[in-house]
């Protein structure tokens, strides 16, 4: 699915959204196209022609409320782990608790990882030490104002780079 980078009126990155949603924001004049698709793709209707956007910017500033702790959701966890299994690196479909909940493990960022089905079933409710496994990366709470964009610098459009760099944040 084609993604578009959404910028606030101040050019700070907010999130990525689907091409469909981006087109709606542009057509309703709530956003402007900052960068067109690098391939020069165009959408046509009976009365309009619109360049396919890669980056759009909202016309009005949206205040983002400050949160002391980012909420743990399935989508955010998968995004943090880049949809990769924490044990084998394959495509992840499930969430696993490193210390199983049956053994007192909390449902927190530091104890949850993305996992593929085979690894999740093999691990079951065992501790990593019991089966001799290790994590590829230690799970942690996402940091920074743009946590929704984790992984975007690797799988997004190259035109997004100036907006996702640490100096731009």
The predicted-structure confidence for 56-90, as pLDDT tens digits, reads as follows 999 999 987 766 677 888 888 988 898 999 999 99
Kindly state the average pLDDT of the residues 48-57: 91
Helix intervals (H) in the chain: 19-27, 74-80, 117-123, 128-131, 152-155, 161-164
């Amino acid at each position: 699915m084609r993604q578009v980078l959404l910028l606030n009126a101040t050019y700070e990155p907010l999130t990525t959204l689907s091409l469909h949603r981006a087109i709606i924001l542009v057509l309703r004049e709530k956003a402007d196209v900052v960068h067109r698709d690098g391939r020069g793709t165009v959408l046509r209707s009976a009365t309009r022609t619109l360049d396919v956007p890669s980056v759009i910017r909202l016309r009005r500033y949206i205040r983002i409320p400050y949160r002391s702790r980012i909420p743990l959701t399935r989508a955010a966890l998968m995004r943090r782990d880049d949809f990769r299994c924490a044990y084998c690196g394959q495509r992840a479909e499930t969430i696993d608790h490193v210390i199983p909940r049956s053994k007192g493990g909390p449902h927190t960022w530091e104890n949850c990882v993305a996992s593929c089905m085979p690894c999740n079933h093999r691990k079951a409710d065992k501790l990593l030490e019991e089966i001799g496994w290790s994590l590829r990366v230690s799970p942690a709470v996402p940091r920074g104002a743009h946590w929704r964009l984790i992984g975007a610098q690797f799988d997004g459009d190259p035109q997004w780079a100036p907006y996702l760099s640490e100096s731009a944040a």
